[in-house]
Structure 1
Amino acid sequence: MPLTISLFSDVICPWCFIGKRRLERALDQLGLRESTAIEWLPFELNPTMPPDGMERAIYRARKFGAERSAQLDAQMAEIGRQEGIDFAFERMTRTPSTRRAHMLIAAAAQHGRADPVVDALFRAYFEEGRDVGDFDVLREIGVAAGLKRDVVDDALGNEQLQQLVEAVERQAAEMQVAGVPFFIIDRKWAVSGAQPAEQWVAALKTA
């Protein structure tokens, strides 16, 4: 039977990018990649972030302290290299609001293009240092991932999509999803965190 994985994540969460790569590697090893449907669900790490975001250095210093922030970036860069991800933290100048990015993902899902849009958002933010809260950047990503320009433009200002994103995030809170990535497999069992591919292989074989 086809496998369905519902995945709560945020496009500025490095562990979500790593978790995606690890899951995909496990699915490839099991020959399940093509038959697995992944449902991308919104989880804003910073739901009160201003629409234009804020300077990353200020945000990180407030959250972790400048020295600790640098240490965390270095550690994550090393983990990323092991997964084939080239984290470019030195290029990142802003921490964006991800509300519009999640609206774009929701629209992409309606057209069967959610996965390429999510992958492009991760790569744009983490490997290219782009501001994925910026309207023009999101439009470029959406169109490059196969969406029509008018679909993208509508999605980024669509009140119904915004309400959908907010409703799903309320559901996550009701389910007590406290962090991401958070995976729900066939709506039966859950996995929290970016588990190694080997653990995914073992779990999926058992299931």
Structure 2
Amino acid sequence: MDAHRLIKLAESKNDRDLVERVINRFYKVYFTDGKSIADKDVLTAAAVEAGLDKDEVEKILVSDQYERQVVGDEVEAQQLGIQGAPFFVINNKYAISGAQPYEVFVQALEKVKAEEK
């Protein structure tokens, strides 16, 4: 939950590069470095290394800020039947689960384009 809340903080900055850096840093710390991002010190260090302000990160972690948004994302994911990653939703209508060949994405995009005519 805390990692997702910090991603929401990054999203609030309207800087897609920052969001990607934060997500990638969390992945690296967890999957490559083998550290627990449930540990607030590890999570704080990773978020700051990715470019978030330490004071803002610490403020978020002692509050419930962004919790409603994260829970809302989880509810939406359950409603869409999302059970894993990656998962893509195109035009709020077509769902693509798992790693798929590009043809699957082309088909979905062609359907969206045809519907717009």
**Matches of 1:170 and 1:100 in 2, distance apart?**
17
Post-superposition Cα deviations, 1:98-129, rounded to whole Å, max 9, x if no partner, equal: x1111111111112222111111111111111
Q: Are residue 104 (structure 1) and residue 9 (structure 2) matched?
A: no
- Structure number with the higher strand fraction is 1
Q: Which residue in 1 is equivalent to 2:114?
A: none
Distance 1:186 1:155 in 2: 32
For the aligned residues, what is the CA RMSD? 1.8
Instruction: Pick 1 or 2: higher relative contact order, CA cutoff 8 A, min separation 6.
Output: 1
Structure 1 residue ranges, 4+ long, deviating more than 6 angstroms after superposition: none
C-alpha distance in structure 2 between counterparts of 1:177 and 1:152, whole Å: 28
**Across the two proteins, how many residue pairs are aligned to each other?**
105
TM-score (normalised: structure 2): 0.77
Say which of 75, 96, 100 aligns to 1:191: 96
The SS at the match of 2:51 is coil
Alignment of 1:81-160 (within 5 A): 99-111=1-13, 112=15, 113-160=18-65
CA contact (8 A) 2:36 2:42 kept: yes
| Residues 5, 65 of structure 2: 8 Å contact kept | no
Q: Which amino acid aligns with 1:184?
A: V
Amino acid at match of 2:7: I
| CA distance 1:142–1:187, shift in 2 (3 Å) | same
**Percent of counterpart pairs with the same letter?**
33
User: Which one has a larger percent helix, Structure 1 or Structure 2?
Assistant: 2
- What pairs with 1:6-85 in structure 2 (closer than 5 Å)? none
With the length of structure 1 as denominator, give the TM-score of the two structures.
0.46
